[in-house]
């Protein structure tokens, strides 16, 4: 009976890890650079499959609540759009992306600064560490359960 419960736990861990890891890997929106002066340009990128349709980037912040539509394939995969920040108020803006199939691609932020004050930045990305940690923990638990099951069976065969 104990072997069955270990096997069941291992199977559950593998199943949940399989569900969480791809979602974390696919749900990613980036904004580059992370800081731009008023009148600068930021590139919004979502890991949407271009075959599923366009991506809608919703930009919200101190003086914005607008949608930016993209059907442009990004160089590294996904879809991207350029956003010109002329007329934006100084502050931090959030970009949430939705793929053409209705799935979310996460969110990211960027900051608009006064002209001449923006350092070059690599861009902000969605924080998926929680998904990756949960998925990794589940996969680790499943592997440990499988290893214990194999050892128990080997010990039983030699007894």
0.85 surpassed by pTM: no
In sign, the C-alpha dihedral spanning 41, 42, 47, 48 is negative
CA–CA distance, 60 with 99 (Å, rounded to integer): 17
* Bridge partners, residue 73, by sequence: 79
Q: List per-residue pLDDT tens for the chain, 159 residues long.
A: 455 554 455 454 544 444 444 444 445 899 999 999 999 999 999 998 888 889 999 999 999 999 999 888 888 788 999 999 999 999 999 999 999 899 998 999 999 999 876 454 444 444 555 555 555 565 666 667 666 766 777 776 666
| Cα-based distances in Å from 27 to 55, 67, 96, 118 | 13, 19, 11, 28
Q: What is the DSSP code (8-state) at residue 140?
A: H
């Amino acid at each position: 009976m104990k072997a069955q419960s270990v096997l069941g736990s291992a199977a559950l861990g593998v199943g949940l890890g399989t569900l969480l890891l791809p979602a974390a890997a696919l749900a990613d929106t980036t904004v580059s650079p992370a800081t731009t002066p008023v009148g600068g340009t930021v590139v919004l990128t979502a890991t949407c499959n271009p075959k599923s349709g366009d991506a809608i980037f919703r930009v919200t912040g101190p003086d914005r609540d607008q949608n930016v539509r993209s059907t442009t394939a990004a160089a590294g995969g996904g879809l991207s759009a350029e956003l010109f920040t002329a007329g934006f108020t100084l502050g931090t803006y959030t970009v949430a992306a939705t793929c053409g199939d209705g799935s979310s691609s996460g969110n990211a932020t960027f900051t608009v600064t006064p002209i001449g004050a923006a350092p070059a930045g690599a861009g902000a990305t969605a924080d998926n560490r929680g998904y990756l940690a949960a998925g990794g923990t589940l996969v680790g638990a499943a592997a440990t359960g499988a290893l214990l099951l194999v050892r128990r069976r080997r010990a039983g065969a030699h007894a």
